Amino acid sequence: MLCFFVSDLHGHQHRYEQLFAAIGRERPDAVLLGGDLLPGAHRATASQFPVVTDFIEDYLAAQLRSLQEELGDEYPRVFLILGNDDPRRVESALLGVEHTALWTYLHGRRDTVGEHPVYGYSYVPPSPFQLKDWERYDVSRYVEPGCISPEEGRRSVPADLSETRYATIQDDLAALTADADLARAIMLFHAPPYNTALDRAALDGRKIDHAPLDVHVGSVAIRKFILQRQPRITLHGHIHESASITGNWKEQLGECWCYSAAHRGPELALVRFDPNAPENATRELL
């Protein structure tokens, strides 16, 4: 089984074109998109982004419909989640019935690809960024120096106090997977696990009010979840520079293989993997 994993495309046209071309050439069984899919609020140059009013309908859905027509029965299962840079207000568009033949929106849900359960989860721990639609407290209400609480910042859709103040990534993951057997599961996350090669940020020597910043910015809850529940494969993005700093885009936690498709260059980082042979995964910059 051939699976593609990409993340943090941020609406860049070159990255999407490379992904669509690879799908057309290689005919994967499944394609998983790990969040931060949309163009940012400040478009760097017109050449980097498709000039469309509605990115989801006029670009993403249109391109995938074209691929579906070209590939027919070989069109892959497409799974996607949003990331912390994507406003939650677009979630309803991704869930629209007109798109169900193109992709499966996976945040907070379970599906299958072949004999493998697939789960999706978008939330990241508190960050320094203002948009809080996809931020949660991690294992407690602790916030790292320099970061902004999920109770502050701004949101594109309203959220109840029970969510902003009391919800945690740790509790969410327990509810999402309950007592399921995850030995063959694929977990599509946006955040990486804490203290790995996948969550290393470029914060060396930085301080806030004389407090040194932790260079590892991933989720403690996700790390604990992986070590305790041992899914087959976990997929991550969010920290663009991690692979270039550490030299590693994959890491094993117990028997679980963790991959990152985050990349800070202009290229698409395409991870190819077979869930039946996770040790053989590759990553190519296109």
Residues 204-240: tens digit of each pLDDT: 999 998 889 999 999 999 999 999 999 999 999 999 9
C-alpha to C-alpha distance for 32 and 188, rounded to whole angstroms: 8
Tell me, what DSSP letter sits at residue 120? E
Q: Which carries the bigger pLDDT value, residue 211 or residue 147?
A: 147
pTM attached to this predicted model: 0.96
Averaged over 13-24, what is the pLDDT? Answer: 97
Which pLDDT score is estimated for 40? 78
**203 within 8 A of 135, measured Cβ to Cβ:** no
End-to-end CA distance of the chain: 21
pLDDT tens for residues 96-109?
A: 989 999 999 999 99
Range of lowest pLDDT (29-43, 147-161, 225-239): 29-43
Averaged over 260-273, what is the pLDDT? Answer: 97
Which pLDDT score is estimated for 47? 56
C-alpha to C-alpha distance for 244 and 264, rounded to whole angstroms: 8
**169 within 8 A of 140, measured Cβ to Cβ:** no
Retrieve residue 224's tokens. Answer: 């604990």
Closest CA to 145 of 88, 214, 43, 231: 214
Which pLDDT score is estimated for 45? 47
C-alpha to C-alpha distance for 28 and 7, rounded to whole angstroms: 16
Please report the domains of the chain, with CATH numbers, ordered by start residue. 3-285 (3.60.21.10)
Closest CA to 235 of 60, 70, 88, 33: 33
Amino acid sitting at position 277: A
pLDDT tens for residues 37-92?
A: 999 765 544 556 677 789 999 999 999 999 999 999 999 999 999 999 999 999 99
Retrieve residue 139's tokens. Answer: 């294992």
Which pLDDT score is estimated for 197? 98
Tokens 């070989």 locate to 74
Q: How confident is the model at residue 172 (pLDDT cuts 50, 70, 90)?
A: very high
Which pLDDT score is estimated for 210? 87
Burial class (CB in 10 A: 0-12, 13-18, 19+), 109: middle
Which pLDDT score is estimated for 211? 86
Q: How far is CA 164 from CA 52, 58, 137, in A?
A: 33, 32, 8
C-alpha to C-alpha distance for 49 and 55, rounded to whole angstroms: 10
